[in-house]
Amino acid sequence: MDDIFLVGGGIGGLATALALGQNGVATQLFEQSPVFTEVGAGIGLGPNAVRRLQAWGLGQALQAKAFIPSQLKVMDAQNGQQLGCLPMAHNFVQRYGAPYLTMHRADLHQVLLDAVHAQGLTELHLGHQLINGQANAQAVRTQWLDADGQTMSHESQALLGADGINSRVRELAWVPQKLQASGHWAYRSLLPMQALPLAWRSDDMGLWLGPRLHVVCYPVRGGEWLNVVVLLEAGQEVQTPGWDTQRSAQQTAADLNQALQGSFSRLQDLVRMSEHWRAWALFDRSPLQTDKDMARGRLALLGDAAHPMLPYLAQGAGMAIEDAQVLALQWQRTKLSVEQRLNAYAQARWQRVAKVQARARRNAQVFHASGAVAWGRNAAMRWGGAAVMDMPWLYAG
């Protein structure tokens, strides 16, 4: 009964298991899927996340699978002109103590899973669905449905929900809060670098801004693939977030063609090079209002379960990794009760996370602006340069 139970075997759950294990804390991790998988494509990891991963001893494993972009170039999606440039690579290492990394989500997931296995302090349970749970002053009693359809009960000292945007742990102790559809879609694809024209074989991150859309591209898997993401406002009403959400090949082509109409020809050519896109309807929740949004008694939430956010700061995984590190620090405070440790975790995290959620929403408007707002955005980047584009409040945290 000394164990901590973790729900969710994604990036947030594995990061939390690993961080707690660094302090000698044993955990049991329950994943609903019968196998560990991580869908998606590329992911950006700011120095704030990379520093923590390096502190957990993952520096070499990340270096083997990730890519370090040389700079971020921001371009006008309509005419192809450069709006601004932010040096990264060594500049970020000197400024923030770690680089900005781009990698495939599955590669990051595997790095974390390998580290958890090597650590040996987490018992992994695949094919286990949380049915119910109730906390009292002494423990959390939970009921589970296993892969064979059998129901079982367990007790733990704490229950941590890292089970994503549709968190079951959230449903146990928090007032239902409806997910908010943004009306935005992310279309993601991977292209082999060697198949691309020379103009697209670059060490840069590219960000193309246009009315009602933007496009992001960067190398992953050691530079062998180019990750391309088209984020657009399709206006389709969607009820459920997730990958491959009710988008046929015809709908995908129509969305991309309409969004990119009138944009720079070379950008259109890049998008047409891929025949395989994964669609993701973007949802979030309002920014957190209080520490109680993250912890109640012996239950706590991490990552998307606590604070789903739009991807316009590329900090979804980064905030989950920060959550894991801060929560693990509380377990060094042995004079505090479990409830006090979880409350301290929530107090330390909620305001920073709320700021990131709000900034991501604001970026959605700024990136997709037109007219006078777009003119002001472009002018600020041209005149302010890297100082306007950098985010020390985020990356140094």
- Pull the structure tokens for residue 312: 């316009």
Q: What is the pLDDT along the chain (397 residues), one digit of tens a residue?
A: 578 999 999 999 999 999 999 999 999 999 999 887 766 689 999 999 999 999 999 999 999 999 999 999 999 999 999 999 999 999 999 999 999 999 999 999 999 999 999 999 999 999 999 999 999 989 999 999 998 899 999 999 999 999 999 999 999 999 988 899 898 999 999 999 999 999 899 999 999 999 999 999 999 999 999 999 999 997 666 667 766 566 778 888 889 999 999 999 999 999 999 988 988 889 999 999 999 999 999 999 999 999 999 999 999 999 999 999 999 999 999 999 999 999 999 999 999 999 999 999 999 999 999 999 999 999 999 999 899 999 999 999 9
Q: How far is CA 78 from CA 51, 59, 82, 196, 254, in A?
A: 36, 39, 11, 21, 19
Q: In what order do the strands lie in the sheet with 27-31?
A: 122-126, 27-31, 4-7, 158-161, 299-301, 295-296
Number of helices and strands in the chain (H, E): 13, 19
Tell me the whole-structure pTM to 2 decimals: 0.96
Domains of the chain: 4-46+108-176+289-365 (3.50.50.60)
Strand partners, 365: none
Collapsing DSSP states into helix, strand and coil, what is residue 84? strand
